[in-house]
Amino acid sequence: MYRYGLLRIKAFSIINYMCGLGHSRFVAYNIVITKPCTDAPGRFIAESSFGRRFDMARLCAFVKSAEGGKCSESLGVARFDFKDRTLILYRSGRIDLRKIVDEGDARVAMAELESVLSGAFEQ
């Protein structure tokens, strides 16, 4: 199915505005499936970006409230489990999604995470 080389996939999703206006906005995530997971056969590691930076103080407060979550404000990196995936978030807005089934799974995870982490982005 996937080879060890990079597979670039432009993934799209529709996300409703949080303010309740009933409008939608079109969000494109550039998702790169990098390689298979060594600890989860049939699953992959994907890289993507939200396109905006995280406020590390707010992100760390959220991540540390999750069971097993780890975060370093000084290093600008956070790690936690979300559903059956392991996520690594970077200050720049970059994200590594581990244990992804395919690009559709990565797209769904990105949309869910952008909503869940909406308060952790820089203003």
* pLDDT one-digit tens code per residue, 79-118: 999 999 999 999 999 999 999 999 999 999 999 999 999 9
Whether the model clears a pTM of 0.85, i.e. scores above it, the answer is: no
Provide the b/e sequence for 83-117 (b: ≥16 CB within 10 Å): eebbbbbbbeebbbbbbbbebebbbebbbebbeeb
Q: Which CATH number applies to 7-120?
A: 3.30.310.10
Summarize pLDDT for 41-81 with one digit per residue, the tens: 999 999 999 999 999 999 999 999 988 899 999 999 999 99
Per-residue model confidence (pLDDT) at position 27: 60
The dihedral built from the CA positions of residue 110, 111, 112 and 116, taken in this order, carries a sign that is positive
59: number of Cβ within 10 Å: 24
- Residue 32 is given by DSSP the state E
Side chain identity at residue 108, one-letter code: V
When comparing pLDDT for 104 and 6, which is higher? 104
d(CA 90, CA 99): 18
